[in-house]
């Protein structure tokens, strides 16, 4: 008796396509993935489309339009399991900067004819609209982790994701701490590992692309970072960055801004 392969669908919402490209950059592993699953929908890779329902859906990007709200609900109904892929899908991504400002003002500044645009005033993660079985953070995601989470969901096991922060990755690379050695603001102590500490290895502070690590102490890091700010408000802006709409980083930035108001 032949057994059909599980079906996989990959979707894009508001994003830069970087996380989908991470899947395509699997190269040799992508061939093995294509043998293990039936890639039924993945417009970044092929125009061929097979009708659902699907065993697994992967969604990249944040929800920024009314159409996307309706579409993500349709995808959820057609998929047995759903993965939110990347920081846009898990916390709104860089688009979520509009959540702390006036989206209409941004549109007026950027576009010559903003009256033609149709958008929501906020950019939100997939989980704010439908049930998500697993979130994989990253900007872009770690391609090895993508393989692991696909395998884990299809085999009903927990994925093997690192339970520590970027700092440990720095240690493993023998990268000297930019925070301690060079007084460069860095979110590494409170950011989930997964990027192999790319920015610190290049002499830059971590921007928090992989979202908050587990059981982090943002209050302690805030105290340290505020003492080494190179421009006023740098620490709050750092927390407000790529993963700024995640509750932990959002609370950290809010606490700093509220403290600044009290100080004035």
Q: Which residue has the higher pLDDT, 47 or 200?
A: 200
Contact between 98 and 62 under an 8 Å Cβ cutoff? The reply is: no
| Average pLDDT along the chain | 94
Q: Name every residue whose Cβ is closer than 8 Å to that of residue 134 and which is 6 or more positions away in sequence.
A: 81, 82, 83, 84, 149, 152, 153, 159
Per-residue pLDDT at 264: 62
| Band of pLDDT at residue 28, cut at 50, 70 and 90 | confident
Q: Name every residue whose Cβ is closer than 8 Å to that of residue 165 and which is 6 or more positions away in sequence.
A: 188, 189, 190, 191, 192, 193, 213, 216
Per-residue pLDDT at 2: 44
> Is the pLDDT assigned to residue 1 strictly greater than 60?
no
Per-residue pLDDT at 31: 85
Rounded mean pLDDT, 108-137: 96
> Is the pLDDT assigned to residue 68 strictly greater than 90?
yes
Q: What percent of the chain has pLDDT over 70?
A: 97
| Band of pLDDT at residue 259, cut at 50, 70 and 90 | confident
Q: How far is CA 113 from CA 15, 68, 97, 121, in A?
A: 22, 22, 21, 17
Nearest alpha carbon to residue 143 among 22, 11, 18, 16:
22
> What's the pLDDT tens digit per position in 125-184?
999 999 999 999 999 999 999 999 998 988 889 899 999 999 999 999 999 999 999 999
| Band of pLDDT at residue 63, cut at 50, 70 and 90 | very high
Per-residue pLDDT at 70: 98
Structural domains in the chain, CATH included, are 7-154 (3.40.50.700), 166-263 (no CATH)
Per-residue pLDDT at 161: 92
Cα–Cα distance, 221 to 186 (Å, whole number): 9
- Name the residue with tokens 């990007």: 61
- Name the residue with tokens 């669908």: 9
Rounded mean pLDDT, 36-60: 93
User: pTM of the full predicted structure?
Assistant: 0.92
């Amino acid at each position: 008796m032949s057994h059909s392969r599980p079906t996989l669908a990959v979707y894009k919402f508001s994003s830069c396509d970087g996380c989908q490209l991470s899947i395509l950059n699997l190269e040799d592993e992508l061939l093995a993935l294509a043998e293990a699953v039936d890639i039924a929908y993945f417009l970044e890779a092929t125009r061929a489309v097979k009708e659902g329902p699907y065993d697994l859906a992967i969604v990249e990007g944040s929800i920024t339009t009314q159409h996307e709200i309706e579409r993500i609900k349709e995808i959820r109904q057609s998929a047995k399991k759903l993965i939110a892929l990347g920081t846009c899908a898990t916390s709104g991504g860089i688009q979520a900067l509009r959540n702390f400002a006036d989206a209409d003002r941004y549109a007026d500044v950027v576009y010559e004819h903003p009256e033609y645009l149709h958008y929501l005033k906020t950019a939100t993660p997939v989980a704010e609209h439908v049930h998500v079985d697993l979130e994989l953070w990253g900007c872009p995601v770690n391609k090895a982790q993508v393989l692991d989470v696909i395998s884990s969901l299809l085999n009903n096991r927990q994925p093997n994701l690192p339970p520590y922060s970027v700092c440990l990755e720095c240690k493993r690379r023998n990268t000297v701490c930019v925070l301690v050695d060079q007084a460069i603001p860095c979110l590494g102590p409170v950011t989930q590992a997964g990027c192999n500490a790319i920015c610190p290895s290049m002499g830059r502070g971590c921007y928090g692309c992989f979202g908050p690590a587990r059981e982090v102490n943002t209050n302690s890091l805030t105290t340290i970072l505020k003492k080494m700010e190179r421009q006023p408000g740098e620490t709050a802006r750092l927390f407000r960055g790529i993963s700024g709409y995640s509750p932990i980083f959002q609370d950290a930035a809010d606490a700093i801004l509220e403290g600044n108001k009290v100080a004035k």
